[in-house]
Amino acid sequence: MVEGWADAVDAAEGRGDWGEAILAITPVAECDSSDYVRSDAHLWHMDLLAKAGRLDELTTRAGTDRHARRRLDRLLYEEGLDNDLRCRAQTGDKYALYLLVRLLRRKGEQAAAVQTVAEIDERDAYALEPAHEPLDRHRLPQAPPG
């Protein structure tokens, strides 16, 4: 394994030099490796791709790599890209469906969340339950005025 790779990735990430960080971690990262260091590096690699905004690369990898798929879905959720999540959910990506429901609810669109589950997979109890919960459930309490 390349010596000092983690320090090089850390330093590049600290500078926001995503290209350099990705270049330094790529030779070490290995999906589903029995070596936990390589496996952890793979997860870090997926996070770096997301931070770099490399949606195309994450999307390409998502076809065969569940870690890339999940990281892509989380990135789409974090960016509020409900249409992109919807497209992924419509192709059978369950995690995208769950995140889409959460995103719609976060936006206060409960009816849209319920409709989305009905359209994509009306039998998915894991998606149905949060879609039908009252909007005030799971919200943080408001701080008292003053």
- Residue 133 has a pLDDT of 84
Q: What is the structure's pLDDT at 145?
A: 45
| Confidence at residue 1, expressed as pLDDT on a 0 to 100 scale | 60
In tens, the pLDDT along 12-24 reads 999 999 999 999 9
Provide the pLDDT confidence category of residue 140 given band limits of 50, 70 and 90: very low
% of residues, the chain, pLDDT over 70 = 90
Give the distance from CA 31 to its chain's centroid.
Answer: 17
Helices (H), 18-138: 18-25, 36-51, 55-62, 66-78, 82-90, 94-106, 110-121, 125-132
